[in-house]
Amino acid sequence: MPPHTFDESRDEEFLRAAFAVAAKARDGGDHPFGSVLIGPEGELLMEQGNAYTSEGCDMTAHAERVLCSRASKTYAIDFLNKCTLYTSAEPCAMCAGAMYWAGIGRVVFGQTEADLKARTGDHPENPTLDLPCHIVFAAGQRQVVIKGPLLEEEAAKLQDGFWQA
């Protein structure tokens, strides 16, 4: 399947929208991660913050995973192929898998998993799974376009002071 052409001109704007969702999640008592789903015409389709606390301590309630489940129930796969998921930190293996299965065409992320791990350590609520998403996507049968890290320092600031005791 040929990849679609994606407009990159608003990537920083949309990534910062994901950062704002992450900040809102943190303010609401969830972990400081956020994602937005942007359609082929630059339309904001969905936003989703981490939902660990609000979903009853669900360790799988990462922003991207929850967003992908919602998106898959809402939109056809052909449409999602043309959409971009912007997310504050690189999708973990679970979330990259969810993106793959939902059919989302492209991901733009802020902070890498490796940098996240360096800053959050082995916190019991966030034992970062440091597997670059390109390795997960490379094992798939359709292409997922990846861009990142982007605005990595801004993304990393979302974690400041959160995981330390």
Residue 47 falls in the annotated catalytic set:
no
Least distance from C-beta 2 to Zn ion, angstroms? 28
Identify whether 149 is preceded by a cis peptide bond (ω within 30 of 0).
yes
User: Binding residues for Zn ion, per CB under 5 A?
Assistant: 62, 92, 94-95
Q: Which residue number, 44 or 59, has a Cβ lying nearer to Zn ion?
A: 59
Q: Which residue number, 95 or 104, has a Cβ lying nearer to Zn ion?
A: 95
* CA pair distance 66, 92, nearest whole angstrom: 13
Least distance from C-beta 60 to Zn ion, angstroms? 8
The alpha helices in 47-151, defined as continuous H runs, are: 63-74, 77-80, 93-102, 113-120, 133-138
Which amino acid is located at 40 in the chain?
A: P
| Residues constituting the chain | 165
Q: Which residue number, 7 or 106, has a Cβ lying nearer to Zn ion?
A: 106
Least distance from C-beta 85 to Zn ion, angstroms? 12
Which position has the token pair 């990537």?
A: 11
The full DSSP string for 96-123 is: HHHHHHHT--EEEEEE-HHHHHHHHTT-
Least distance from C-beta 95 to Zn ion, angstroms? 3
Annotated catalytic residue, options 64, 113, 125, 153? 64
- Of 95, 109, 107, 89, nearest to 150 (Cα)? 109
Q: Which residue number, 26 or 62, has a Cβ lying nearer to Zn ion?
A: 62
Both tokens of residue 6? 């994606």
Which residues are designated catalytic?
64
